Amino acid sequence: MPALKFPKPDLDRIPVAMTVAGSDSGGGAGIQADLRTIAMHRVHGTSAITCITAQNTLGVTSVEAMPPDAVTAQIDAVATDIGIDAAKCGMLLNAEIATAAIERLQAHGVTALVVDPVMVSRTGVVLIDDDAIAALRDRVIPAAAIVTPNRHEAQILTGIDIVDLETMQQAARKVYSLGAKAVLVKGGAMAGPECGVDVWFDGDRLEVLRTETIDTPHTHGTGCTLSAAIAATIARDGGDALAAVRRAKTYVTNALKHSLAIGMGQGPVGHFYPLVDPQLPRP
């Protein structure tokens, strides 16, 4: 199977990336992190908000779902006027929102779709119910160009107990069999030498991706940031999907180096690091 590639964008127009995700009142993850990430990639960001959370660096205190027709109305409004070169889906919260959102994205011909299947936090806390998990597995993931589960999410999707690099690779192949064109199993929750190691599989290439490990407690929003960076890179540059993932991982690594020690808990990554450290290359 040939490597997953995306068409080169029209250089005469501004690239657009959409995020379909929840709102984080603390600004560390979700829509807020996605739009900052997209902007730092010099891409215009648009959004469809799926839920509103009350949260800060200490945790989430409230979650309110948007009506599915309000989510689809946001997608329609953007797609019919501004257009969508690439999109990412983050927190879809329930089966109704997940199904409605993916149907509208497909109806508008969005194929450059990065799915961050938000089901479980990095610490292993389940965030959505069984119906929503089934909708992600059966409806959303088959429509994805790239799906980026963390260790716990990959375990739920595959039934594989992921304990080492070999089982990460097995899980990547099995998630791929669900219908996505490419899979990135993230190892941020792994222990030992596999911590921070990701596994890529696109039906052809099985790659182990290693980057510098950053020792910081302030990692809130890393999954959102990575998937948004992948979508923004594809919207801006097109080309090889794995190359876009590698560039996005570099962006996240640099953002972790400049993570923000705000609040009394776990702060977010520093999305705007190129503004404060111009010696680092722009994403």
Residue 89 annotated to the active site: no
Mean pLDDT of 231-241: 97
Phi, psi of 5 (to 5 degrees): -130, 155
User: pLDDT > 70: what percent of the chain?
Assistant: 96
pLDDT digits (tens, 9 = 90+) for 132-191: 999 999 999 999 999 999 999 999 999 999 999 999 999 999 999 999 999 999 987 767
Residue 167 annotated to the active site: no
Task: In whole angstroms, give the CA distance from residue 195 to residue 187.
Answer: 6
Residue 186 annotated to the active site: yes
Task: In whole angstroms, give the CA distance from residue 166 to residue 264.
Answer: 37
Whether 125 has a pLDDT exceeding 90, the answer reads no
Of the residues 88, 186, 187, 196, only one is catalytic, namely 186
Q: What tokens appear for 165 in the block?
A: 């690099």
- Residues listed for the chain: 283
Residue 219 annotated to the active site: yes
Whether 3 has a pLDDT exceeding 90, the answer reads no
| Domain residue spans of the chain | 14-149+219-272
pLDDT digits (tens, 9 = 90+) for 257-282: 999 999 999 999 999 999 988 888 88
pLDDT digits (tens, 9 = 90+) for 13-29: 899 999 999 999 999 99
pLDDT digits (tens, 9 = 90+) for 174-222: 999 999 999 999 987 767 777 779 999 999 999 999 988 899 999 999 9
Of the residues 26, 187, 196, 221, only one is catalytic, namely 221
For tokens 């450059």, name the residue: 112
Of the residues 46, 158, 167, 219, only one is catalytic, namely 219
CATH, domain range 14-149+219-272: 3.40.1190.20
Q: By the 8 A CB rule, do 20 and 89 touch?
A: yes
Mean pLDDT of 227-252: 97
Residue 221 annotated to the active site: yes
Q: Which of 219, 167, 170, 171 is nearest to 194 (CA)?
A: 167
Whether 124 has a pLDDT exceeding 70, the answer reads no
Residue 223 annotated to the active site: yes
